[in-house]
Amino acid sequence: MSSKGSNYGDIHRYEPARESTAAMIAIVLLTIIEVVLVALFTWGLVTGLGTDPVGNMYLGFLLAAIFIDLSFVLMLYRKEFLPDVMIVKKRRRKWEDLYIREEQADGTSLFGDTVEQFKKAVYPYKEK
């Protein structure tokens, strides 16, 4: 669905989510793995594995695995279950940020209208 107008806040493109069954099953399995990893990490903290150098590396590995697994869950959810929406936003030009009027956006030239000034000096009654 694409709207013809490009007013501020209009939805330019809206594609509904695919909501695939395979993605749902993958998210459920990754969530179960996430729960197991969090349980192992909690068990390691409670038993004091962080005081041993090898146990500290084990806890670090578990923590890294937890965040990597969580990133895959969020990536699958965002890709498969959230709609793709593009909203029109107003783009401001650079000169608007500097509080300059539109006719001043290009600045002033170094010589100005030298030819016109010369014509006025030679013949001051000449109309443009």
- Could you report the per-residue pLDDT of 93-119, keeping only the tens digit for each? 655 566 666 666 666 666 667 777 777
pLDDT for the residue numbered 107: 66
In which residue ranges of the chain is pLDDT below 50?
1-3
What b/e sequence results for 4-34 when a residue is b if at least 16 CB atoms lie within 10 Å of its CB, and e otherwise?
A: eeeeeeeeeeeeeeeeeeebeeebeebeeeb
Q: pTM score > 0.75 for this model?
A: no
Question: Are the beta carbons of 11 and 85 closer than 8 angstroms?
Answer: yes
Helices (H), the chain: 21-47, 53-81, 94-97, 114-122
Residues 6+ apart with CB under 8 A from 55: 44, 48, 49
pLDDT in the model for residue 14:
73
pLDDT of residue 110: 67
